[in-house]
Structure 1
Amino acid sequence: MPQKKIALLFFFLNTFFLNFTFAQKINEVDKIVAKYPKSFDTTEKLAEKIEKDFDSDSDRARAIYSWIGYNIKYDYNAYLNPPKTQGFSYSSEAEKQRKIKQLNDNLIQKAFNSKKAVCEGFTALYQHLASLMGIKCEVIRGDSKISLRDIGRKTLSSNHAWNMVFFDKKWRLIDVTWGQGYYDTSKGRMVNDFNPIYFDTDPDYFFAKHFPDSGTFLGNKLSKDDFLNGPLIYNKTIEEDYKIKSPNSGIIEAKKGGKIEFEIKNISKSDQVFYLNKKNQAVKIQNPKEKRGGLEFEILNDNNVGEYITIFVGTSSVVSFKIISK
């Protein structure tokens, strides 16, 4: 692989968005919705179209995800320069709720009409369309894990929002903001690149990258430490079901000159597996062993290993760890 391309890949690891699509799994619902108009007169007209074309709540929930993912772009300028929080006065609880609803309605219409939004707009629009079809949907706010510097940070922050949607007798996890595309550092702009992996994501993968403000999911308490100190996983990991078995922490304490042991499921010796050293040079994994449906290998913690190790399969980043050398 050319050195320039390797360096560029490493640079991408430190950008705000890590939603590169390597192996899209487009289904029949996505194909139908891709032919929809980019604009509808009202959200009600869009909901009517989806209800006419699809019979089940699962397909309708997917169609909402697809349409938003195809047509609404992340407003990166608004992310960098967020508008001031709108305050309001009220004389009763009823008036308060009316004004909150009006602000939310304005947010929905702005996202729908302008085709731009940040996560609050994406999630509010998704919830609104779901409600028009009688599908239970909640907006969840919390923390997100998107960059190398997030590994081992000390505190949680409320910086993101996503949806929980109920269909087929189960609550499902959905992040349509991350499904719509990514920030291209070379072009300095957002790129729409629809990715289905954040629709009905496996909770184990989802909560490696999301932590709700409540710290719970359907009554089950989530581990703040596991989230903060866990490794950083990428889209390819979710797409290919690469399970990171070892190390089980995102923070590796290792002696200089010692070996760090790794185990990743659903990877084989036929895959091209490597990591980048601190000079952004690709280093091929030597003498990997296939065991228990995965690959076991070692990396020498020498002077060429930097503060982070990111494992690649082919051209796709799979997992990153923070290295603390003793």
Structure 2
Amino acid sequence: MRFILISFLIFVVHNSLALDQVNTKLNNYAKACPEKTSRDLKSLVNYLSKGGNTQTQQVELFCYWIAENISYDTESYVSGKTTETAKILVSRKGVCQNYAELLQKMCESVQIECHIVSGYSKGYGYSKKKPFQSPDHAWNIVKVDGKYLFVDATWSCGYVDQVKGSLMFFKELKIEEIFADPNYFLMTHLPGDPRWQIRNNPITMTSFTSNDSVKDMLKLTLPNYNYLDSLKTYLAADSLDRRVMSAISTYNFNPINANLTEVGDAYYNKAWKTSQNTNDIKNYETAIIWYDKSIMIFSKLNNTYGAKWISNSKKGLKYCTYQIDILKKDKK
């Protein structure tokens, strides 16, 4: 019991900036953004960021503007079609990935560290009787004023529900999703990569799906580790290695087929990009290693997707071998 209580207290004090009410002044400032200004990301961010005195206020302003102006795209959700985030300022609608990418772009425009987190959510369509087949939601973690904070820009805008057989979006500012209290947030959001739980004793997938309260979830956690050290290693890596690290961590945390597929994709992506626009034999040799790894993973899928990318990986191997032979001949 003492261990559980200590873990619970550590979890509670992590986030002391959870909002409990709308900042009317900031919200009104965001709403007053001129229409023309809001059609261009640079001018939009420039306007909004001037309304805040701190990084925290700037992110809050970004969230208020998104909640007021971007609607959830129920048609894309139902059809499974992807929407380009670059077009969201024109279409004024998107799905969770678009919301997360937009907030990230806004934050990074003013040098605020912001990460997109893919994971599992107890939102629309969730059922304890229906296991997750893949991560189903995306949100953000921002680092403002030295603290890592949770933000779900999608859920902060409102909610969806069935009306006469059709999925409808209802706009409603939900302040609790901006700098969300970890206890509240973890009840409904579980990062695919456990490092983004931002805690030293990550809650397990089983605990998340079996319980509805954080107190009960904390009874079953992964072994203790230093999440700050884990994040430091992750952030020091380049984008290719970050994707590989996250994919492996996500699969180890929840070894389902969709997560294994992402491992294969991450390996292939690293191989392909390492072999592009280079005259360095070492780069081609490195790419060969990653192509071999991708083939090993895709072979485990036993499906048409895996077969397709095994074929592409073999083509990549052939290309790299050919380039190495040419470069070796040129050196003679």
Report the TM-score when normalising by structure 2. Answer: 0.53
Letter in 1 for 2:148: W
Report how far residue 185 of structure 1 moved. Answer: 3.0
For residue 45 of structure 1, give the secondary structure of its aligned residue in structure 2: helix
How many residues in Structure 1 have an aligned counterpart in Structure 2? Answer: 193
Range that drifts further, 139-148 or 163-172: 139-148
Matching residue's letter, 2:58 = R
| Superposed counterparts of 1:76-87, under 5 Å | 76-83=74-81
Contact kept? 1:143, 1:156, Cα under 8 Å:
no
Aligned equivalent of 1:226, options 195, 207, 232: 207
1:33 aligns with 2:30: yes
* Secondary structure, counterpart of 1:163 in structure 2: strand
SS of the equivalent of 1:151 reads coil
Letter of the structure 2 residue corresponding to residue 180 of structure 1: C
Tell me how far 1:157 sits from its aligned partner: 2.7
Bigger proportion of residues as helix: 2
SS at match of 1:185: strand
In the TM superposition, 1:221-300 aligns within 5 A as 221-231=202-212, 248=216
Is 1:208 the equivalent of 2:187? yes
Cα separation, 1, equivalents of 2:186 and 2:125: 17
The answer to whether the 8 A contact 1:152-1:230 is kept is no
* CA pair 140-43 structure 1, distance change in 2 beyond 3 A: same
Kept in 1: contact 2:113–2:143 (CA 8 A): yes
Shift of the alpha carbon at 1:224?
A: 1.4
2:120 and 2:190 in contact (8 A); partners too: yes
**After superposition, what is the alpha-carbon deviation per residue over 1:233-274, rounded to whole angstroms, capped at 9, x for unaligned?**
xxxxxxxxxx887xx47xxxxxxxxxxxxxxxxxxxxxxxxx
1:1-326 paired onto structure 2 within 5 Å: 25-27=21-23, 28-38=25-35, 40-83=38-81, 107-146=84-123, 150-151=127-128, 153-155=130-132, 157-186=134-163, 188=166, 189-216=168-195, 217-218=197-198, 220=200, 221-231=202-212, 248=216
Q: Distance in 1 between matches of 2:22 and 2:199?
A: 32
Identity of aligned residues (%): 24
CA distance in 2, matches of 1:34, 1:131: 21
The answer to whether the 8 A contact 1:26-1:196 is kept is yes
1:149 and 1:191 mapped to 2: Cα distance?
A: 18
Query: In 1, are the aligned partners of 2:120 and 2:192 still within 8 Å (CA)?
Result: yes
Match of 1:95 in 2: none
Report how far residue 129 of structure 1 moved: 0.5
Unpaired segments of 5 or more residues in structure 1? 1-23, 85-105, 232-242, 250-326
Q: CA RMSD in A?
A: 2.6
User: Which fold has the larger relative contact order, with Cα–Cα distance below 8 Å and residues 6 or more apart in sequence?
Assistant: 1
| Structure 2: 5+ residue stretches without partners | 1-19, 218-332
What letter corresponds to residue 117 of structure 1 in structure 2?
Answer: G
SS for the counterpart of 1:165 is: strand
- Normalised by the length of structure 1, the TM-score is 0.54
Looking at structure 1, the residues matched to 126 and 180 of structure 2 have their Cα atoms a distance apart, in angstroms, of 24
